[in-house]
Amino acid sequence: MRHNKSGGQTSLSRLVHPLFIIDPAPHPVLTPLNNPSTAMTIPATAHFCWIGPDLPWAYGFAVLSCARQGGLARVILHHTDDLAPTPVLAALRAAPGVELRRIAPAAALAPAESALNRPGALTALYQRMPSPAIKSDILRTAILFTEGGLYLDTDTLTLAPLTPLLHTAQFIGTESIIWPHFVRVSRNPLLLARYGALDLARKACRLLPQGWRAFRLVERFCFPGINGAVMGAAPGTALFARALTAMLDMPPLRQSEPNALGPDLLQTLTEQAAPGEITIHPPALFYPLPPEISQHWFRPTRRVRLAAMLPPKTRLVHWYASVRSKPYVAEITPAFVRAHAATQPYSALVLRALPDL
């Protein structure tokens, strides 16, 4: 189920018309952002996870921007390896509010295993997974379940205080996607043709100069899919207990598939949630440019127009390191950002988040 404005639910049958056209009704507007007097239930702590010794500047900026703009008491980078002694590491150590926490995955997962009465199970799953992305899905879920707080991917830039997000028991965000799981596994020719046409439109918008503008006309027909790049919870909340249990009970072949322990699982769990159990935020808050279109953050332009690219409600930008941005990451440094802030939207975002860079 998907929550509507009044806190009720809209079933997926309402999202899909007879010809499988997604209802272009507005995304939910959530009262917690407009009610700062409500008592906080999510701890004012941000968690990031990093697997490996080398931390590029592009991902260091995620932690630094959260510490500078997020308004939180603590920003913790959980890292599974000793970080290489680089200027990035020095900047993180010098940043107020940033905590670098070296973790052993088995020890980090043990409290969740104990709470679920599944000793050693998450550790065994973690060790079997073939990619850092899937391992991160397990770590982030276990950390939020045991400690609570906000989880943010390292391919984010925080632009505004995140404290208004804390006035709820658990939240997650949506992104505008073309190929949700129910479409990927479908054999319905009308459904596949409809999303295939949307995919062609998205490809054109990705390639066209200023194509992000044109995609605004298409976006309302996309599926509002759940993304776990930004989410939050009080310790011990039901969503993340169910997520960890579902990870363990999933067939082994499915566990290792891309997105199976991340967006696909979270999508299923939020659809099954009780009314009012989970606050679901619209794409504008965290995903102002969706996958593929996000390449425009890195495209050079004559003049950066952040005011047009960022909806007024945007609090942070997830820029999708997994989507066509790898060639850019290696060249990003503070000097690169300062030199390209007038002609590259990503660099302009970094300077907005870290004006003293």
Write out the DSSP string of 29-44: PPGGGG-TTSPP-S-S
Whether the CB-CB separation of 296 and 305 falls below 8 Å is answered with: no
Q: What pLDDT, in 10s, does the model give residues 7-47?
A: 333 333 333 322 223 333 333 333 334 444 445 699 999 99
125-129 average pLDDT score: 97
pLDDT > 90 fraction of the chain, expressed in percent and rounded? 82
Whether the CB-CB separation of 194 and 21 falls below 8 Å is answered with: yes
The residue written with tokens 């950390």 in the block is 143
Average pLDDT, the chain: 89
Dihedral angle, C-alpha 23, 27, 233, 9, nearest 10 °: -50
Q: Count of CB atoms within 10 A of residue 170's CB?
A: 22
Domains of the chain: 2-18+27-180+223-353 (3.90.550)
- Please name the residue ranges forming H helices in the chain: 12-15, 57-69, 87-94, 105-115, 121-128, 132-147, 181-184, 189-207, 211-219, 238-249, 252-255, 263-271, 283-286, 306-309, 326-329, 334-340, 345-353
Structure tokens at 109: 């997962």
Q: What pLDDT, in 10s, does the model give residues 255-313?
A: 999 999 999 999 999 999 998 899 999 999 999 999 999 999 999 999 999 999 999 99
**pTM beyond 0.85, yes or no:** yes
Radius of gyration of the chain from Cα atoms? 20
Q: In what order do the strands lie in the sheet with 45-50?
A: 98-102, 74-79, 45-50, 149-152, 223-233, 170-177, 279-281
Q: What's the confidence (pLDDT) of residue 315?
A: 98
Q: What pLDDT, in 10s, does the model give residues 58-85?
A: 999 999 999 999 999 999 999 999 999 9
Q: What pLDDT, in 10s, does the model give residues 322-357?
A: 767 788 898 999 999 999 999 999 999 999 999 999
Beta-carbon contacts of residue 266 (< 8 Å; ≥ 6 apart): 172, 226, 227, 228, 231, 243
The region of weakest confidence among 82-96, 107-121, 214-228, 322-336 is: 322-336
